[in-house]
């Protein structure tokens, strides 16, 4: 096995990011939607009764779509222009924490992209759930993605109404000890290999 130093560093960096929080890239192909008003519904709902999770939604890209009003409830802050952060609290009187971004679709290829970065803590019982839903003008869900933060986490996707949900990548769960250990060992091994290769190059001179 021969690895160049830049690749090794890239892998290390990737693992470093992965170990901090799990993330999922989401691409919503909305090209099939009829022209009209729609909303992107983003929620983090508590299930286990413990305020122990948060989600950051970032890197939004609404391609070919016109943004309308944004509304937030509960412990949701921010906007798609930067990021939206939500925690799993239940702040009365709001029934849940979430954000609703309205937009207008028109003919042509359109899409929504974002990255979900989230923590995964589960205190037992029902899991907390992150959901990203595409709603029509009557707030009926046409397509959605849910991520149950249980043990294990469960991702489900439901396309419909002319929208197709794709997740671009799923990242190993950092909370699992074996993945942390594996990542640490991999980083150490790569470091060792690059050091050995450097030594070999030095010795060959």
Q: Which residues bind other proteins (CB under 8 A)?
A: 41, 43, 45-47, 49, 90, 92, 95-96, 98, 100, 125-129, 131, 133, 135, 138-141, 144, 146, 148-150, 154, 156
61/139 with CB nearer other proteins: 139
Nearest CA-CA partner of 36 in 107, 94, 109: 107
Cβ atoms of residues 79 and 88 within 8 Å: no
Q: How far is the CB of 142 from other proteins (least distance, A)?
A: 11
139/188 with CB nearer other proteins: 139
- The terminus-to-terminus CA distance of the chain in angstroms comes to 21
Helices (H), the chain: 5-20, 177-204
Q: How far is the CB of 41 from other proteins (least distance, A)?
A: 7
> Rounded to an integer, what distance in angstroms lies between the CA atom of residue 118 and that of residue 145?
14
41/173 with CB nearer other proteins: 41
Block residue for tokens 């122990």: 52
141/164 with CB nearer other proteins: 141
Q: How far is the CB of 95 from other proteins (least distance, A)?
A: 5
């Amino acid at each position: 096995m021969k690895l160049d130093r830049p690749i090794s560093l890239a892998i290390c960096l990737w693992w470093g990011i992965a170990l901090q929080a799990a993330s999922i890239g989401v691409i919503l192909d909305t090209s099939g939607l009829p022209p009209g008003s729609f909303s992107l519904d983003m929620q983090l709902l508590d299930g286990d009764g413990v305020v122990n999770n948060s989600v950051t939604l970032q890197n939004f890209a609404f391609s070919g779509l016109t943004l309308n009003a944004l509304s937030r409830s509960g412990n949701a802050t921010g906007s798609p222009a930067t990021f939206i952060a939500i925690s799993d609290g239940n702040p009365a009187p709001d029934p849940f924490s979430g954000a609703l971004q309205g937009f207008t679709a028109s003919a042509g290829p359109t899409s929504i992209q974002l990255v979900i970065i989230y923590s995964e803590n589960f205190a037992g019982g029902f899991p907390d759930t992150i959901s990203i839903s595409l709603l029509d003008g009557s707030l009926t869900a046409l397509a959605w993605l849910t991520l149950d933060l249980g043990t294990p986490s469960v991702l489900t996707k439901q396309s419909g109404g002319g929208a197709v949900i794709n997740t671009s990548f799923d990242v190993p769960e950092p909370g699992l000890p074996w993945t942390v250990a594996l990542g640490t060992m991999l980083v150490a091994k790569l470091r060792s290999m690059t050091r050995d290769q450097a030594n070999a190059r030095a010795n060959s001179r």
